[in-house]
Chains A and B, each alone.
Chain A
Amino acid sequence: DTEVTQTPKHLVMGMTNKKSLKCEQHMGHRAMYWYKQKAKKPPELMFVYSYEKLSINESVPSRFSPECPNSSLLNLHLHALQPEDSALYLCASSQGGKTYGQYFGPGTRLTVT
């Protein structure tokens, strides 16, 4: 299984809502990532988990809260978002190290109203 799955595919939420994005992989990958991508822009790294521990936080606002319950799952908890947070949120995984590429999920299209 070489697939990274993400749910939901689309999410519309108000600025006072709390929601979560989910990501799952069963490739035994040791590293998992969250990216944010605005229209016509490249993906921007948000968080990196390595061996289920948060290793990189790219100065992301605290209204985004990542969680890695186990080696196969990655969540992104959302609270009090702003309209400018509307974007495609991509999850990726890799074997880690310097010689491996990343496998991306299809993304969650988030709209904050």
Chain B
Amino acid sequence: SQQGEEDPQALSIQEGENATMNCSYKTSINNLQWYRQNSGRGLVHLILIRSNEREKHSGRLRVTLDTSKKSSSLLITASRAADTASYFCARNFNKFYFGSGTKLNVKP
């Protein structure tokens, strides 16, 4: 499959805790991107990490990329109930391939 794998498939945490999601892929990338989707609506672009970068931060988000292991992780620190959503990684190599997604539930 062209799609990457994400784990866990579902994650439930308390507000204030950190959430970590992992993404693995099989082939080459130009960059890897993370998106959020609320309740089956449109996706929101969160962060992009280029293939020659190892770590990137944006607010409460931290993304790492290990091209030797073909994997990436998204860390959300100090989670909030509003972070409840599905999170997808998307591998970009001429076109976009989305991973299977992680459904995050942040309990207030």
Q: Which residues of A line the B interface, CB within 8 A?
A: 4, 33, 37, 39, 41-45, 48, 56, 88, 90, 92, 98-107, 109
Contacts and interface: CB of A to CB of B under 8 A. Distances in A.
Interface string B78-108: 0000000000101010011111110000000
9 contacts: A41-B100, A43-B43, A56-B95, A92-B43, A99-B30, A100-B48, A101-B33, A102-B43, A102-B90
Contacts of B99: 42
A99 B35 CA distance: 15
B95 A98 contact: no
Nearest to A101: B45
A4 B41 CA distance: 13
B48 A104 contact: no
Contacts of B43: 43, 90, 92, 102, 104
B42 interface: yes
A106 B38 CA distance: 10
B45 A45 contact: no
Interface of B: 3, 30-31, 33, 35, 40-45, 48, 50, 88, 90, 92, 95-101
B42 A104 contact: yes
B100 A42 contact: yes
Nearest to A98: B30
Contacts of B42: 4, 90, 104-107
Contact of B31 (A37, A56, A92, A99): A99
Given A99-B50, A102-B45, A42 B88 contact: yes
A88 B43 CA distance: 12
